[in-house]
C-alpha cells in the first residue's frame, strides 16, 4: 500500500499544502484501501468516491493556482451517517431514513469542508446511534479491524473501524453516552467527546439532544486536536452551542504537564473492572506521573460501578442515562411517522393511526423501539416524577460529584470500557448487558463534560485497551495535552491492527 | 322538572390563541404570512426535518411580554420551552414547542367594559408562547394534503380564569382582548385570517332548593369568529341546563368531568368530539434544543416603556379631554395609530371635534371600503390639522372639506393648495354672494314669495333658496352668510 496512507491527517495536509503530495493521489489511495477492506469490515453505508475525487482535484487546482488552503486541505474524512450532508444519503443506518437526502449539511461537516477536508463517505452506525456495538444497524454490522469476529463498539463503530482499518486518516462520530470513546477504545484509535455546546449539533440527527455531541476519531492525539479545532465553535443555528472562542489546541498539546493533578476516581476501579484493563490504566497513570503530573485519588460516588451477586455491573448513572436519553429519543424520533418523509408502509391502511403504527413498526429496529417505549413510559403522566424527574436529580448529583472532584484535581484518568472488544452476537440477546458497555463513559455526557479516549495498551489477546481522560467543561486542550504527553512518553500511538 | 326558582349561573373561562404579527416564524427565519400558496413559507426547521434545530424569535418573545405587561401579568424572570407531544399529520415533529410550567406571563387582569357601562374584571391565569401547527387541507383531487405555511408561526395563548358569567361578558372579553393586542401591535387579530381563535370552557352552577349543582365542563374547540363564540356559549348554556334537568344526579361535573365539543356554524349547535376527550397525556418535558430565557431588567424596562397609554384609558381621555361622545371615542381607539393621528392633529392646533368629524365621516367610509383602519388610509397629522382649521374658520364648508379630504390622502398637495386649485375655498366676498342670492330670488319668485309670506311653506322655501345659492356657487359660498343675506332680503 502506498505510503501516503501512512501519513497522519496533519502530515498529509502539510504534504499537500507543500506540493509533496496530491489530494487526488491521497483520495485514490484511501479509496483503494476501502475497496480492499470494506467487504471484510463493513464500515461504510455509502462511499462518496466520485464526489471525493472531484473535491480532491479541486484542492489540487487551488494549490496549483496558489490559492490559500485550509488546515485539512486534501485530507479524506469519513462522516458518521447521522450527520446530514447535502450530498449522498443520511440514513442513520435505519430503514426509516434509507432514502433520506438532506437538503443541508451539518455545521460540523461544513466546517471540515471549509478547512479543505474531502468527505469520503458515510459510515455505519447503530440505528439512530442507539447501541454499543454497531450490530444494531439496519444494514448489517461493522466488524472490528483487530479481529473481524468482534464488534468495533458503537454507535460510531463505522467511523472508528474506518480509521483503525486505514480507510481514512480521520472520521467524525457522535457521542451520546460514549459512542465515540467506546468504539475508539475497542478499535485502538483516539476519540474525543467535546464539552456539550462546544461543537454545533445543527445537522446531527438527534438521539438524546441534551447529551449528543459531535467529535473526531483519529489515529493520534495531534490529529484529534487538529479536527477539534476545525469543528468547534459557536453556531447561531444551535442555541445550545456556546459563544466562546476556540483555543489553538495544536499549540496547547506540546506543553509539559508538570504539576498537573490527575485524579483516579476510585469508584471506576472496583472489583467489577476487568483486571487487565485496570492494570493497563493504572500503568498509564504511572507513565503520566513519570512525565511530571501528580496522581491523586478522587471520588465520584454517584457514578460508581458495582458488581452484583451475579458478577454483573450496576450503576445509578446507567439507569439515569437510559431514562434521560430514551425520553429525549422518544420525542426526537416521533417525527418518523410515515406521513412527512421517510419510510411509509406499502400496506393498505385503515386510518392515520394505522399508517403511523405500521410505518414505525416496519421502519424502525428493535433497539430503537425499545428505547422509544421506555422513553414514552418514563415521560407519561403518573410516571414522570418517579422516573424522569428523579433521573434529572441523579444527573445533578453526578454533575456535583464531578465538580467536587475537580476541586482536587485538574482531570480524571479512568478506563473507557469495562472490557475489550467482544464477539459479535455476544451481548445482543441481553440489552442490559449491552448497556453496561458504556458504564464508564455516560456520566461524562450526563455532566456535559469533555472526555477523551486514547489507546493505553494492547491486551494479551491482542486487542486494544483504551483509557479515558475527563476534564471540566472546555478543558479539551488539557485532556489532549496529557494524552499527547502519554503518547510521547510511551510511543503508544497510531496503532495498526494486524492485517 | 323545570323549576322557575332555579338560579342558573354560567361559569365561563376563555382560552384565546393570538397569532403574533412578526416578520418571521417562532423558531426559524421563514416568512410569517397568511394566504401564500401552500408550503411556500417553509424550511427544514419548521417542517421538522432530521437534524435541524430551533432558534428562538426574540421579537415574538418581546410582543408576548408586552401583552403580558399590558394585562398586568407577572412576567417570568426565567421561562423555558417544553415539548408537548401528540400525533397529528399537520404537526411536523409530532410535538409542539410550547411552555408548560413556566409560562412567560401569569396572574394578570383585564378590565372589560360592558354595554351597560359597567366593567367586568376578568383574571388572567397565564399567557404562554408556542408554535402553531400546520393545516390539513381536505377535498384535494389527490385526497388530503398538509399545508405547513402556518407551522411554526408564533402563537400566544392567553388563558383566563372562569370569571365570565354570560354570553355578553365572554364576547366583551374577547373583543377587549382583540383591541388590546391590536393596540399593542402584537397581532393584526384578523378573524378571517385566523389570527384569533377562541376555546371557551363552559359549565353551569345551578342552585335548586339551596343546593348548588355543577354541570360537566365543556371545552368548545377552535372557534374563529365572535359570532361562533357567542353562538357556542349560548347553545351550551341552554343545552347544559336542559341536560341537567333531564338528569340532575348524573349530568354533573363529579360524574362526567370535562369533555370537548366542536361548534357547527350552520346549525348553531355544539357537537360532541370523539377522541379528544380521552385523558390526554402530552408527555411534556423541557425542550433540550432550546436554552431557558432570562429577560434582564433593561430588556423588560424597554418593553414596559413601549406600551404607553392603553386603549380604555385613552378612550376615557378622549371623552374627558376632547369632549367626544362614547361612540366617537370608542371608534377612535380601536387601534393605536388612529388615535395617535388625532392626538397629533390636535397638538398641531386643530379642534378635536373637527378632526373627529373628518376622520369618522370620509375617513371611516374609506377605511371600510378598503378593509383597513383609519390610520392606514394615508392620512397624516399635518394635512388633517390644516383641513380641520380651514373648516373651523369657515375657509371651506363641509362639502368642500370632504372633497379635499379625499384628494389630500395621497400626500402630494396640502389642503390649502387643493382648495385653491379646485375652487373649493369659501367665497365670503359679500358682493359676489349677494349677486348669487339676487339671481336665486329672481329665478324662483314662487319660493321667494313663500318666504316673505311666512307660514307653513316658509321654512322649506328658505332651505330651497339656500340650496340654489350654494349650487350656483358650486359649494364655495359660506351657507351661514347666504342665509344671513337671504333673511335680510326677504325678511
Ligand atoms: Zn421555517
- Is pLDDT of B276 > 50? no
- Residue A155 preceded by cis peptide, ω within 30: yes
Query: How many residue contacts between A and B have a Cβ separation below 8 Å?
Result: 95
Q: Rounded to an integer, what distance in angstroms lies between the CA atom of residue A220 and that of residue A228?
A: 12
Chain B residues closer than 8 Å to A106 by CB: 51
Higher pLDDT among residues B452 and B239, named by residue: B239
A242 close to A185: Cβ distance less than 8 angstroms: no
For residue A340, the distance in angstroms to the closest alpha carbon of chain B comes to 7
Task: Give burial (CB, 10 Å; 0-12/13-18/19+) of A85.
Answer: buried
A341 — contact with chain B (CB < 8 Å)?
yes
Rounded to 5 degrees, what are φ and ψ at A217? -125, 125
Query: Could you tell me if the ipTM is greater than 0.90?
Result: yes
Chain A residues closer than 8 Å to B85 by CB: 331, 334, 379
Amino acid A1: pLDDT = 42
Amino acid A127: pLDDT = 98
Amino acid B423: pLDDT = 80
Q: Is A282 helix (H, G, I), strand (E, B) or coil?
A: helix
Question: How many angstroms does the Cα of residue B41 sit away from the middle of ligand 1?
Answer: 7
Q: Is A214 helix (H, G, I), strand (E, B) or coil?
A: strand
Task: Give burial (CB, 10 Å; 0-12/13-18/19+) of B140.
Answer: exposed
Contacts of B163 (CB under 8 A, 6+ apart): B12, B13, B120, B121, B122, B123
Chain B residues closer than 8 Å to A100 by CB: 50
How does B141-172 read in b/e, with b if 16+ C-beta sit within 10 Å?
Answer: eeeeebbbbbbbbbbbbbbbebbbebbbbbbb
Q: Of A249, A147, A236, A227, nearest to A180 (Cα)?
A: A227
For residue A371, the distance in angstroms to the closest alpha carbon of chain B comes to 15
Q: Of B214, B123, B170, nearest to B12 (Cα)?
A: B170
Catalytic residue positions of A, numbered: 80, 155, 179
Q: Is B418 helix (H, G, I), strand (E, B) or coil?
A: helix
Cβ-defined contact of A205 to B51 (cutoff 8 Å): yes
Of A208, A240, A380, the CB nearest to B283: A380
Cβ-defined contact of B50 to A84 (cutoff 8 Å): yes
A387 — contact with chain B (CB < 8 Å)?
no
Q: Rounded to an integer, what distance in angstroms lies between the CA atom of residue A151 and that of residue A130?
A: 15
Amino acid A315: pLDDT = 86
Q: Is A487 helix (H, G, I), strand (E, B) or coil?
A: helix
- Is pLDDT of B275 > 60? no
pLDDT tens sequence across B178-189: 999 999 999 999
pLDDT tens sequence across A40-71: 999 999 999 999 999 999 999 999 999 999 99
Chain A residues closer than 8 Å to B87 by CB: 334, 337, 353, 356
Residue A412 DSSP symbol: E
**Angle CA(B134)–CA(B139)–CA(B145) in degrees, nearest 5?**
35
B51 — contact with chain A (CB < 8 Å)?
yes
- Is pLDDT of B277 > 50? no
pLDDT tens sequence across B14-32: 999 999 999 999 999 999 9
Of A236, A335, A337, the CB nearest to B55: A236
For residue A136, the distance in angstroms to the closest alpha carbon of chain B comes to 19
A172 close to A216: Cβ distance less than 8 angstroms: yes
Chain A, window 176-235: residues with a beta carbon less than 8 angstroms from a chain B beta carbon: 201-206, 208-210
Of A201, A337, A353, the CB nearest to B94: A337
- Is pLDDT of B474 > 80? no
Range with the poorest average pLDDT among A221-235, A243-257, B424-438: B424-438
Contacts of B11 (CB under 8 A, 6+ apart): B162, B164, B165, B202, B203, B204, B205
The pTM score is: 0.89
Residue B433's pLDDT band (cuts 50, 70, 90): confident
Over pLDDT 90: what percentage of chain B?
70
B290 — contact with chain A (CB < 8 Å)?
yes
B94 — contact with chain A (CB < 8 Å)?
yes
- For the segment B47-74, the average pLDDT, to the nearest whole number, is 97
Amino acid A257: pLDDT = 96
Which strand (E) or helix (H) includes residue B417?
helix B415-422
Of B53, B56, B285, the CB nearest to A327: B285
Residue B2's pLDDT band (cuts 50, 70, 90): low
CA distances from B395 to A64, B391, B400, B482 (A): 82, 6, 10, 14
Chain B residues closer than 8 Å to A448 by CB: none
B341 close to B359: Cβ distance less than 8 angstroms: yes
Which strand (E) or helix (H) includes residue A457?
strand A451-458
Range with the poorest average pLDDT among A338-347, A383-392, B80-89, B424-433: B424-433
- Is pLDDT of A2 > 60? no
Question: What are the percentages of helix, strand and coil residues in chain B, rounded to 5?
Answer: 40, 20, 40
**Angle CA(A34)–CA(A39)–CA(A43) in degrees, nearest 5?**
60
Q: Rounded to an integer, what distance in angstroms lies between the CA atom of residue A348 and that of residue A401?
A: 54
- For the segment B312-341, the average pLDDT, to the nearest whole number, is 92
Task: Give burial (CB, 10 Å; 0-12/13-18/19+) of A354.
Answer: middle
pLDDT tens sequence across B99-139: 999 999 999 999 999 988 899 999 999 999 999 999 999 88
Amino acid B5: pLDDT = 85
> How many C-beta atoms surround the C-beta of residue A367 within 10 A?
19
Amino acid B123: pLDDT = 98
A236 — contact with chain B (CB < 8 Å)?
yes
- For the segment B326-339, the average pLDDT, to the nearest whole number, is 91
Strand partners, A83: A204
Q: Rounded to an integer, what distance in angstroms lies between the CA atom of residue B462 and that of residue B464?
A: 5
- Is pLDDT of B273 > 90? no
A372 close to A330: Cβ distance less than 8 angstroms: yes
Q: Using CA atoms of B71, B134, A92, A57 in order, give the dihedral in degrees to the nearest 10.
A: -100
For residue A39, the distance in angstroms to the closest alpha carbon of chain B comes to 29
Amino acid B238: pLDDT = 96
For residue B197, the distance in angstroms to the closest alpha carbon of chain A comes to 26
Strand partners, A218: A170, A190
Longest dimension (CA), chain A: 70
B49 — contact with chain A (CB < 8 Å)?
yes
pLDDT tens sequence across A312-330: 777 899 999 999 999 999 9
Cβ-defined contact of A380 to B281 (cutoff 8 Å): yes
Cβ-defined contact of A90 to B285 (cutoff 8 Å): no
**Average pLDDT along chain B:** 92
- Is pLDDT of B425 > 90? no
A200 close to A230: Cβ distance less than 8 angstroms: no
Q: Rounded to an integer, what distance in angstroms lies between the CA atom of residue B454 and that of residue B469?
A: 20
Amino acid B279: pLDDT = 59
B289 — contact with chain A (CB < 8 Å)?
yes
How long, in residues, is chain B? 491
Task: Give burial (CB, 10 Å; 0-12/13-18/19+) of A426.
Answer: middle
Amino acid at each position: 500500500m502506498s505510503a501516503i496512507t501512512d501519513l497522519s491527517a496533519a502530515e498529509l495536509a502539510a504534504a499537500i499544502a507543500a506540493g509533496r503530495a496530491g489530494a487526488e493521489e491521497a483520495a485514490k489511495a484511501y479509496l483503494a484501501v476501502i475497496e480492499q477492506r470494506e467487504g471484510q469490515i463493513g464500515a461504510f453505508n455509502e462511499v462518496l468516491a466520485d464526489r471525493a475525487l472531484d473535491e480532491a482535484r479541486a484542492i489540487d487546482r487551488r494549490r496549483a493556482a496558489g490559492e490559500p488552503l485550509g488546515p485539512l486541505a486534501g485530507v479524506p474524512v469519513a462522516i458518521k451517517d447521522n450527520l446530514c450532508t447535502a450530498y449522498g444519503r443520511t440514513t442513520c443506518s435505519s430503514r426509516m431514513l434509507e432514502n433520506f437526502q438532506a437538503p443541508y449539511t451539518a455545521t460540523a461537516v461544513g466546517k471540515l469542508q471549509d478547512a479543505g477536508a474531502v468527505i469520503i463517505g458515510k459510515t455505519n452506525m447503530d440505528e439512530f446511534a442507539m447501541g454499543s456495538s454497531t450490530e444494531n444497524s439496519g444494514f448489517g454490522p461493522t466488524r472490528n479491524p483487530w479481529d473481524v469476529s468482534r464488534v468495533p463498539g458503537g454507535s460510531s463503530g463505522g467511523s472508528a473501524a474506518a480509521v483503525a482499518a486505514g480507510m481514512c486518516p480521520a472520521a467524525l462520530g457522535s457521542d451520546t453516552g460514549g459512542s465515540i470513546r467506546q468504539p475508539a477504545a475497542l478499535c485502538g484509535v483516539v476519540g474525543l467527546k467535546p464539552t456539550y455546546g462546544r461543537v454545533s449539533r445543527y445537522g446531527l440527527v438527534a438521539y438524546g439532544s441534551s447529551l449528543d455531541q459531535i467529535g473526531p476519531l483519529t489515529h493520534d492525539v495531534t490529529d484529534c486536536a487538529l479536527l477539534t479545532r476545525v469543528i468547534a465553535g459557536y453556531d447561531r443555528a444551535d442555541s445550545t452551542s456556546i459563544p466562546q472562542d476556540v483555543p489553538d489546541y495544536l499549540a496547547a498539546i506540546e506543553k509539559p504537564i508538570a504539576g498537573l493533578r490527575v485524579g483516579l476516581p476510585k469508584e471506576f476501579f472496583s472489583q467489577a473492572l476487568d483486571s487487565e484493563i485496570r492494570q493497563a490504566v493504572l500503568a498509564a497513570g504511572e507513565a503520566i506521573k513519570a512525565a511530571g503530573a501528580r496522581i491523586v485519588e478522587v471520588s465520584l460516588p454517584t457514578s460508581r460501578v458495582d458488581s452484583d451477586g451475579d458478577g454483573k455491573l450496576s450503576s445509578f448513572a446507567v439507569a439515569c442515562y437510559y431514562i434521560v436519553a430514551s425520553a429525549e429519543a422518544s420525542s426526537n424520533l416521533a417525527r418518523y411517522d410515515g406521513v412527512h418523509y421517510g419510510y411509509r408502509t406499502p400496506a393498505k391502511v385503515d386510518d392515520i393511526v394505522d399508517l403511523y403504527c405500521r410505518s414505525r413498526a416496519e421502519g424502525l429496529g428493535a433497539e430503537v423501539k425499545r428505547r422509544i417505549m421506555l422513553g414514552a413510559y418514563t415521560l407519561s403522566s403518573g410516571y414522570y416524577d418517579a422516573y424522569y424527574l428523579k433521573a434529572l436529580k441523579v444527573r445533578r448529583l453526578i454533575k456535583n460529584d464531578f465538580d467536587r472532584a475537580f476541586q482536587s484535581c485538574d482531570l480524571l484518568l479512568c478506563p473507557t470500557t469495562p472490557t475489550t472488544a467482544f464477539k459479535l452476537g455476544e451481548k445482543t440477546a441481553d440489552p442490559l448487558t449491552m448497556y453496561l458497555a458504556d458504564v464508564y463513559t455516560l456520566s461524562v455526557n450526563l455532566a456535559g463534560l469533555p472526555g477523551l479516549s486514547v489507546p493505553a495498551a494492547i491486551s494479551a489477546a491482542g486487542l486494544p485497551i483504551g483509557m479515558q481522560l475527563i476534564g471540566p467543561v472546555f478543558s479539551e486542550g488539557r485532556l489532549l495535552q496529557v494524552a499527547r504527553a502519554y503518547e510521547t512518553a510511551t510511543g503508544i500511538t497510531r496503532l495498526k491492527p494486524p492485517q | 322538572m323545570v323549576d322557575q326558582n332555579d338560579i342558573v349561573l354560567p361559569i365561563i373561562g376563555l382560552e384565546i390563541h393570538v397569532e403574533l404579527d412578526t416578520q418571521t416564524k417562532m423558531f426559524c427565519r421563514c416568512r410569517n404570512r397568511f394566504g401564500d400558496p401552500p408550503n411556500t413559507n417553509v424550511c427544514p426547521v419548521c417542517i421538522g426535518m432530521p437534524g435541524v434545530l430551533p432558534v428562538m424569535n426574540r421579537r415574538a418573545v418581546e410582543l408576548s411580554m408586552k401583552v403580558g405587561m399590558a394585562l398586568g401579568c407577572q412576567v417570568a424572570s426565567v421561562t423555558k420551552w417544553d415539548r408537548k407531544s401528540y400525533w397529528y399529520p399537520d404537526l411536523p415533529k409530532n410535538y409542539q414547542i410550547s411552555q408548560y410550567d413556566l409560562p412567560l406571563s401569569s396572574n394578570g387582569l383585564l378590565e372589560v367594559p360592558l354595554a351597560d357601562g359597567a366593567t367586568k374584571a376578568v383574571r388572567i391565569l397565564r399567557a404562554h408562547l408556542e408554535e402553531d401547527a400546520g393545516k390539513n387541507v381536505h377535498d384535494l383531487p389527490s385526497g388530503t394534503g398538509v399545508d405547513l405555511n402556518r407551522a411554526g408561526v408564533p402563537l400566544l395563548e392567553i388563558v383566563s380564569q372562569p370569571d365570565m358569567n354570560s354570553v355578553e361578558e365572554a364576547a366583551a372579553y374577547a373583543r377587549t382582548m382583540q383591541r388590546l393586542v391590536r393596540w399593542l401591535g402584537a397581532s393584526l387579530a384578523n378573524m378571517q385570517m385566523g389570527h384569533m381563535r377562541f376555546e371557551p370552557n363552559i359549565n353551569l352552577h345551578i342552585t335548586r332548593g339551596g343546593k348548588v349543582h355543577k354541570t360537566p365542563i365543556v371545552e368548545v374547540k377552535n372557534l374563529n369568529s365572535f359570532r361562533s363564540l357567542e353562538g357556542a356559549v349560548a347553545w351550551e348554556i341552554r343545552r347544559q341546563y336542559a341536560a341537567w334537568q333531564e338528569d340532575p344526579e348524573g349530568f354533573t361535573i363529579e360524574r362526567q368531568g370535562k369533555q370537548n365539543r366542536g361548534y357547527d356554524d350552520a346549525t348553531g349547535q355544539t357537537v360532541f368530539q370523539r377522541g379528544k376527550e380521552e385523558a390526554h397525556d402530552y408527555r411534556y418535558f423541557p425542550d433540550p434544543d432550546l436554552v431557558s430565557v432570562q429577560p434582564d431588567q433593561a430588556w423588560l424596562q424597554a418593553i414596559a416603556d413601549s406600551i404607553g397609554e392603553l386603549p380604555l384609558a385613552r378612550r376615557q381621555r378622549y371623552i374627558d379631554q376632547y369632549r367626544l361622545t362614547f361612540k366617537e371615542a370608542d371608534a377612535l381607539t380601536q387601534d393605536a395609530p388612529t388615535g395617535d393621528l388625532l392626538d397629533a392633529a390636535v397638538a398641531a392646533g386643530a379642534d378635536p371635534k373637527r378632526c373627529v368629524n373628518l376622520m369618522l365621516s370620509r375617513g371611516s367610509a374609506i377605511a371600510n371600503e378598503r378593509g383597513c383602519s383609519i390610520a392606514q388610509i394615508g392620512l397624516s397629522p399635518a394635512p388633517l390639522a390644516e383641513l380641520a382649521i380651514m373648516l373651523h374658520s369657515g375657509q371651506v364648508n363641509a362639502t368642500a372639506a370632504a372633497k379635499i379630504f379625499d384628494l389630500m390622502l395621497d400626500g402630494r398637495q396640502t389642503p390649502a393648495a387643493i382648495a385653491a386649485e379646485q375652487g373649493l375655498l369659501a367665497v365670503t366676498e359679500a358682493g359676489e354672494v349677494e349677486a348669487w342670492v339676487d339671481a336665486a330670488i329672481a329665478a324662483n319668485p314662487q319660493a321667494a314669495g313663500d318666504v316673505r309670506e311666512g307660514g307653513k311653506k316658509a321654512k322649506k322655501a328658505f332651505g330651497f333658496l339656500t340650496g340654489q345659492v350654494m349650487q350656483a356657487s358650486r359649494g364655495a359660498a359660506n351657507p351661514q352668510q347666504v342665509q344671513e343675506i337671504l333673511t335680510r332680503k326677504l325678511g
